[in-house]
Structure 1
Amino acid sequence: METNPRGIPKAPFVENVEDHVTEEEPVEIVLRKFQEAMAKYKFMEINMLQRKRNLDAKIPEIRKTLEMVQFLQSQASEEDESKEIETLYELNDTLYATAKVKPTGKVCLWLGANVMLEYPVDEAADLLASKLESALKTLKNAEEDLVYLRDQVTTMEVNTARVYNWDVRQRRLARVGEEA
């Protein structure tokens, strides 16, 4: 079965309904299979949308942190180590406090799951740059997958309509044949 680069299967397009509807697989079973496949694609789409939303929120935070680390990197490279940096420190979304910070050449980064590690500034900048690159790549893949999934859902909807309309035509022909 054909798939996209991340393993999502391609929905088959029904060109000839008679090839799919047989005595062993009547219309009801074919339609049920199509509905199940459509439900799976929609489930994957919902998960992919959630992943995209999470990345959309995470990427600006990574960028902001990387910019701050790069700023600290530039301050630490200056010769005057007794120099303090005055900055606004975010306590909450809308609450800031003034802080004076001496460049130490080290930063602490939240890694998640209530874990914070201390890194040298250069190492932290490299780590954040790789995290940003990875997040941007994952976001690009998620956006491509969303487009792909929407195409597969559309294909399955068209397949369902074709089989249903074929069944309606067959029933009408059978009814006209019985009346004649």
Structure 2
Amino acid sequence: MSSIKESEANYVNPRGIPQAPFVEKVEDYVQSRDQVESILKSFQDMLQKYKFMEMSTLRREAGLKEKIPDIQKTLDMVKFLDASCNTDGELESITTSYELNDTLYAKAKITPRDTVYLWLGANVMLEYTNEEAIDLLSSKLKSAKDSLESCKEDLEFLRENITTVEVNTARVYNWDVQKRKEDREAAELK
């Protein structure tokens, strides 16, 4: 007879995070009182791993929340330039402000073209046609949004497992305290 739910014993979420087993019957889970300390230590190790994964996922989520608006803004601009380039076949200059620094902007007149340059990171910039840029940015935006949803699911999953491990720890600890109390009372009666 197992004191851990069989459905939880080997479950792993889609991103490979294992589910913490819930100890249903402490007396079945702890074979002897000598095991209590090692069981509590294993629960603490598991709790630390879950908290580390939670912090890592929170950082990833924060990065995605920062990145998604930038991708969206770039995609909107490329779509605007593409629409400006395709009207009437005649190219008109557009007056715009662009950011030089965090609080410093300059005005410029630009003539829309059928190509744009995108920063890819690591000081790399590539030229794309408007259609290629829209496809690339759309796929990056979708990927970032999907990753953000995965982060949210993982955080919920991790928080549930942190709670489960904390409850298991409390139950094993309280069981041990109760057994010690019973042993003390039995020794006093003798």
Give the TM-score taking structure 1 as reference length.
0.96
Q: How does 1:77-156 map to 2 (within 5 A)?
A: 77-78=86-87, 79-81=89-91, 83-156=92-165
**Equivalent residue number for residue 50 of structure 1:** 59
* Structure 1 position 19, deviation (Å): 2.1
Match of 1:34 among 27, 43, 49: 43
Q: What CA deviation, in whole Å up to 9, does each residue of 1:67-103 have, x standing for no partner?
A: 000000001102112x211100111222110011111
The answer to whether 1:161 aligns with 2:170 is yes
In structure 1, distance between residues paired with 2:50 and 2:34: 22
Count of aligned pairs between the two proteins:
179
In structure 2, distance between residues paired with 1:74 and 1:86: 15
Q: What CA deviation, in whole Å up to 9, does each residue of 1:122-169 have, x standing for no partner?
A: 110111011001100000010010000000000000000000000000
In structure 1, distance between residues paired with 2:17 and 2:124: 34
In structure 2, distance between residues paired with 1:157 and 1:63: 40
Q: Is the 8 A contact 2:33 2:176 kept in 1?
A: no
**Equivalent residue number for residue 3 of structure 2:** none
Q: Is the 8 A contact 1:20 1:30 kept in 2?
A: no
With a CA cutoff of 8 Å and minimum separation of 6, indicate the structure with the bigger relative contact order. 1
Q: Is the 8 A contact 2:20 2:165 kept in 1?
A: yes
* 1:85 maps to amino acid: I
**Equivalent residue number for residue 8 of structure 1:** 17
> Identity of counterpart residues, as a percentage?
55
**Equivalent residue number for residue 4 of structure 2:** none
In structure 2, distance between residues paired with 1:59 and 1:94: 21
Gaps of 5+ in 2: 1-9
Gaps of 5+ in 1: none
Displacement over 4 Å in runs of 4+: none
Secondary structure of the residue aligned to 2:108 is strand
- The two structures, once aligned, show a CA RMSD in angstroms of 1.1
Give the TM-score taking structure 2 as reference length.
0.91
* Structure 1 position 22, deviation (Å): 2.1
* Structure 1 position 23, deviation (Å): 3.8
